[in-house]
Amino acid sequence: MKKFDLAKSLIRKSENIFSCPLCQGPMNVSFQSNSLICKKNHCFDLSKNGYINLLPHSVKSEYGKEMLESRNTLCKSGFFYPMTKSVSDLIIKTMEPFNKRNIQMLDAGCGEGSHLKDILSNTNVNSKSNFKGVGIDISKEGIHIASREYQDAIWSVSDLSKMPFRDNAFDIILSILSPSNYSEFNRLLSSSGFLVKVIPGSDYLLELRSVLYNNTDKEQYSNERVINHFSNNFNIVATEKVNYTVSLDSSLFKHLIKMTPLSWNVTDNKIQDALNLNIQNITVDLLILIGKKK
């Protein structure tokens, strides 16, 4: 099946999860116009690349195409595999008692889609349930890469603060190294659903941080504030620390620097210092939080 037809068929099968971004009414796939359309005729076309843009107005994203391509290259190298594996195992373990046949999963802020792709592959291979994935991001460039690289999920350009889905539509919401909108997560999660958030630990990219931020207040990082904010909004039911070291060649190291927000506000001289140091091993320190609605 062509990419476009495959995407249309996936959206058709899950059309009941969508709500119109303009009037919040239910939406249906129109086969004549290849779009998602509501009863008031608000119409959003499926792009030829197989994603749907559900932003009522275009928004400029701070994530550039080059940064997203770098993140895609780094993800494909396996940089985050131990994290996506742990997240997948936790999801399977958490969902098992419910014995659900179909599990609807949303990656809210999926960027270029690699994490959702890897988690969907793992969960569908290792559990009896059928995991269906939807990835959204406000960055059109990110969703463009996601739909180019992976066809077994629905990809949509959407606003995290006003997500185009009906209440209680998802069993799992993923928020991986990405900002959260807890009131929207609360609205979209079913009563038996789980929020899975991945945040940096204090040693995340330690070697890079100590070069880029030495002798500044950003040299040390604590995730305490983020954990408190999470637990004010959701009940934490499980946590897991994921800590590993990745060896990178110089080309992947350059992609890492381009990808990480750590490098966005530092001078070119500092970035050159980091490149000159020829760092070969980098620490990936992350914390997975699993939450339930209060």
Q: Is 113 annotated as a binding residue?
A: yes
- Closer to Zn ion at the Cβ: 25 or 64? 25
- Closer to Zn ion at the Cβ: 20 or 67? 20
Please report how close the Cβ of residue 23 comes to Zn ion at its closest, in angstroms: 3
Element (H, E) at 174: strand 170-176
251: tokens are 């080309």
- Closer to Zn ion at the Cβ: 23 or 237? 23
Please report how close the Cβ of residue 270 comes to Zn ion at its closest, in angstroms: 48
Q: Is 80 annotated as a binding residue?
A: yes
- Closer to Zn ion at the Cβ: 23 or 59? 23
- Closer to Zn ion at the Cβ: 13 or 40? 40
Q: Is 38 annotated as a binding residue?
A: yes
Binding site for Zn ion (CB under 5 A): 20, 22-23, 25, 38, 40, 42
Please report how close the Cβ of residue 39 comes to Zn ion at its closest, in angstroms: 7
Sheet holding 52-53, edge to edge: 52-53, 154-157, 130-137, 102-108, 170-176, 189-200, 281-293, 234-247
Which residue type, as a one-letter code, is found at position 9?
A: S
How many angstroms separate the CA atoms of 111 and 96, rounded? Answer: 28
Please report how close the Cβ of residue 21 comes to Zn ion at its closest, in angstroms: 8
Q: Is 42 annotated as a binding residue?
A: yes
How many angstroms separate the CA atoms of 200 and 227, rounded? Answer: 11
Please report how close the Cβ of residue 289 comes to Zn ion at its closest, in angstroms: 35
**Widest CA span of the chain, in angstroms?**
61
DSSP string for 139-172: -HHHHHHHHHH--SSEEEE--TTS-SB-TT-EEE
Annotated binding site: 20, 23, 38, 42, 80, 112-113, 204
Annotated binding site for Zn(2+): 20, 23, 38, 42
